[in-house]
Structures are given as C-alpha cells and as structure tokens.
Amino acid sequence: MDIIGKSHVGFSRLGGGSKKFKTFNPQTNSDNPWEFIEASKEETSRAVEMAWQAFKVYRNIAGVKRADFLNAIADEIEKIDNLVETYCLESGLPEGRAKGEMGRTIFQLRSFANLLQNDAWKRISIDEAQPERTPIPKSDLRQSLLPLGPVAVFGASNFPLAYSTAGGDTASALASGCPVVVKSHPMHAGTGELIADAVVRAAKATGMPEGVFSNLNSSGIDVGTWLVQHPNIKAVGFTGSIRGGRALFDLAAQRDEPIPVFAEMGSINPVILSASALGKNAMKWADTYAKSITLGTGQFCTNPGLIIAVDSPSLDLFAKELAEQILTIDPMCMLHPNIKNAYSDHKSAVTSQEGVSVLSSISEVQTNYADQAVAKVNGEVFLTNTKLHQEVFGPFSLLVACENEAQLIEVIEKLEGQLTGTIITEEDSLEEVKPILEALQHRVGRVIFNGVPTGVEVCPSMNHGGPYPASTDSRFTAVGTNSIYRWLRLVSYQDFPQELLPNELK
C-alpha cells in the first residue's frame, strides 16, 4: 500500500502545511524515501471540529456497532502487506518484534470489541425510589457512564503500533464513544499512515461518522500544542518522556476548561533482591536480569533500571555475574539517533556521579547501537543524590547496595512513583519480604513476584500506571480493557421518566 505523506483529516487526505520531513532508518543511518507534510493549524482545527461533530453521533451509536468498527480496524490491519517492512525501516527493530506488536495491537482492538458486547462495562447502578421513607422520602437515582468527547492521542516512539495510531489509547477511546485525533509520531509516520488508512477504511465500511478518527503528521511540538489547546478536545492520551508528558499536563491545566491528561511518562522499575534469593540463586537471577535489561535494547517503559539489595558476599557474586552476562549479549540498534544520544547522555550523567562505579560496559558498538552497561552505588550515596533516581531509557541498570534492610526500605520510600516494582525471594522465606512489600506497593502500580517487569499482559487485571511521574493519575491503567475508564465520566439521573432515561437505566 502506498505512502503519500499527507494527514488524514476525517476521510480526506490533506497536505497544506509548509513543513516537510522524513522518517529515519537507524540500521542504515539514512533517511527513508517517503516525505511527509506536517499538518497546518487550519488542518488541525478542522480535524478537531469534525471530531466534535462526529461525537454528537458516535456517542449514541450502540456498543455492538462500535465493536463492529473495532473489529473492522483489526481486519484491515491484517490486510496491510507492507506494514511489517515499513515498521522495521522506521524503527530499526527486527521483524519478529514487528509481528508481535502487530498481534498485540489487533488483540487490543478485539478485546475492546468483546467488552462492548454488553453493557456491564458501564458500571450501571440503580437505586429505586422509596417515597414512603420517613422522615425524608428517597428519590429514584440511576447512574451510568458517558464519554468525555474528542480525545487527542500522542503516538509513542518505542511502540509504533501497540501504543500509537490504533494502539491502546485509540482503541479504548473509540470503544468508550470518543472520537480520536492522533498526533502521529514523527519517527514512524509511514507506519502511522498505513494504520490510519486501515482505520478510515473500517470507519467507512461500518458506517461511522466522518471525523470519528483523524491522523495528523507532525515533526515538532506545534500540532500537539494546537490539539491540547483546542476547546473541543476533552482529554489527552500520551506515552513518552516526563518532560513531554508534563508539558502537555501543564498546557491542559492552563486552558479555560482544564482537561485530563493521561500520560504514562517515566519509570526505573526497582527490583528488590532478598538475602535468601541471593544466597541460593544469585547466578540464576543475574542471568535472568541481564536478558531483561537488554531486551528490546532496553527501550521499554518497564525496563529494570534499578536493582536494590542489602550488601553481602552473595550480592557481590550477583553483581559479578550480571556484569559478565551483560557483555555476552550482542548490542542492538536503538530507535533513532536522538534516542541513542539521549541514552548516552543520561547514562553518562549517572555513571559520572561521585560514588558510582561502572561494573561493565560494551566499549565499541555500531552507529545507533546501544552500549549496554551496569553500574553500582551504595545506599547512602543513592539516598543523597537524586540524580541517580532518574530514568536512563535504554539497556542500563544501577545496582544499589544498602547497608541493611532499614536503609533498603528507606531507598524504596524515597523513590518517585514507578510503573512496576519486583520482589525476588525464596518461597520458604516470604516473611522476610513483607516489610519490603508494604513499602513497595505504595510506590508502584504493579508488583511482580519472582519475575521480570518487562512484558505487559493485556487483560482486565493488568495495571499499567502508577504514582507520579509514572503516570499523571495513578487511579487509571493505560493497558487492558479497564483503560476505557479514562475517557468516561459518571452521570446520575434523579427521578427521571423511563422514556428519557438511557436504555441501560430503564
């Protein structure tokens, strides 16, 4: 399928903007052949206005009809013959990763379609009137959920499919009854265009209103700024850096009508190694975490960037094995030179701090490839230097050797909010980690037992979020069918006649 480089504004393809850009192949260190035109302010405004008009129709379309739309999107994605090739050219990621992410994207769409087959997701509540109650009669009260309105979705750099054009934010918003305007990520605009074509074909085939979906090309911050400031955008979905997410959060708060920004931003995902685990299986866990740290070149929001334990000879053994195993894994290409440069800068900012020692690091790599590394610091230095608490996006992890368990718990309590926290221990030593769990669960959104944080299952029980800055609202998840609740609000109807009530409340 052809890539023409124009934005999708409703069902039309527009390219009236003055800025042009290309995507980049980090494997060949060269531009890809396609040229993209950044959406103009007028085209951005038109996309939002169309979404607002579509919302008046789309919010009243039955859930089963919206399910047909989501399933049709999945069907159309499966038909794109050059999707995997384009994904790989724009990301530097291997074909297996592309196919896996495509499968996840399709699964997410179909999961929300299944959710819409009945009204259980609306969390309906009915309290019938009690006119005879004394001393005050009770009114009839019925409660359901209504969609917020058009949602601006920002594509993620590290997931061109599952967190981007038709990824989890878009799928959940469309399921809720909210039209979507996507700010396509400039690193994979071609992949985004192919997916946007599929969404538009599905919308037409299932009779959805024009404006239910738009996809805007963007090489900078202008299009995103215009979207968030537009009065008819009612919520924002974002996956990316703390700096970017916080900028959008602040921008939304400054509007005459502030709107929610559901941003998943930064996390170092602490891993706690207990004394029993180190004593019995230090080598095993070192091998396991060498693979987890380098998986996908460390370009996951759940990458284990911090490993914490009480100092001991067993920890020394773990550190030695981890350092050796890191060097046996072949370096891999990062998504873009900008991401590689940021990785190098942030890694240097950590390893150059006083008291930090580098245990191992790949010395020479190909252009745009990541030089994975592991460093170590003691608990006292870590507690007093917050520069060591920041995310290094890439295959890097910092080992914190604490003086005792009290200091280890203090380290946990001083961390910023995280997406995940992991506890590694032995099954016969569960009592020793109870105080650790008590501290850890208040700093993270998901706690893992004897595993790795990399890998996010898409299911109703998954929570992908956490205290700030892991996300801007720790009450919601960005993954799984419960992510639909970001785009909905409660409405109660008091003493209403049956004929005026929503069908599910009659």
- Give the integer Cα–Cα distance in Å for 318 and 240: 32
Mean pLDDT computed over 356-376: 95
Mean pLDDT computed over 429-439: 95
| Full DSSP string of 153-205 | EEPPSS-TTTTTTTSHHHHHHHHHT--EEEE--GGGHHHHHHHHHHHHHHHHH
| Digit-coded pLDDT (tens) for 310-338 | 999 999 999 999 999 999 999 999 999 99
Helix, coil or strand: residue 85 = helix
Helix, coil or strand: residue 288 = helix
pLDDT tier for residue 364 given thresholds of 50, 70 and 90: confident
Q: Which of 301, 321, 391, 416 is catalytic?
A: 301
Give me the residue label for tokens 């590689």: 340
Q: Check: pTM over 0.85? Answer yes or no.
A: yes
Number of Cα atoms under 13 Å in the Cβ half of residue 144: 14
Torsion angle (degrees, nearest 10) of CA 252, 253, 259, 261: 60
**Which DSSP state fits 493?**
E
| Digit-coded pLDDT (tens) for 188-240 | 999 999 999 999 999 999 999 999 999 999 999 999 999 999 999 999 999 99
pLDDT tier for residue 430 given thresholds of 50, 70 and 90: very high
301 catalytically annotated:
yes
Q: Residue 233, Cβ neighbours under 10 Å: how many?
A: 22
What is the pLDDT of the chain when averaged over all its residues?
Answer: 97
| Full DSSP string of 316-329 | HHHHHHHHHHHHHS
% of the chain surpassing 90 pLDDT: 99
- Whether the per-residue pLDDT at 137 is higher than 90: the answer is yes
- Give the integer Cα–Cα distance in Å for 228 and 375: 39
Q: Which two tokens stand for residue 214?
A: 């738009």
Q: Which of 76, 90, 193, 264 is catalytic?
A: 264
Give me the residue label for tokens 């990062």: 334
Give me the residue label for tokens 């996956």: 239
Q: What is the pLDDT of residue 363?
A: 83
- Whether the per-residue pLDDT at 393 is higher than 90: the answer is yes
Q: Residue 53, Cβ neighbours under 10 Å: how many?
A: 18
% of the chain surpassing 70 pLDDT: 100
- Give the integer Cα–Cα distance in Å for 322 and 329: 11
Minimal CA–CA distance to 412: which of 463, 467, 357? 467
Please give the biggest Cα pair distance in the chain.
82
Q: What is the pLDDT of residue 267?
A: 95
- Give the integer Cα–Cα distance in Å for 437 and 309: 14
Minimal CA–CA distance to 151: which of 487, 474, 478? 487
- Indicate the residue type of 177: G
Q: Tell me the Ramachandran region of residue 94: left when phi exceeds 0, alpha when psi lies from -120 to 50, beta otherwise.
A: beta
Mean pLDDT computed over 79-96: 97
Could you tell me whether strands 213-216 and 180-183 are parallel, antiparallel, or unpaired per DSSP bridges?
parallel
402 catalytically annotated:
no
**Which DSSP state fits 130?**
B
Q: Residue 253, Cβ neighbours under 10 Å: how many?
A: 11
| Digit-coded pLDDT (tens) for 9-44 | 999 999 999 999 999 999 999 999 999 999 999 999
Q: What is the pLDDT of residue 431?
A: 92
**Which DSSP state fits 437?**
H
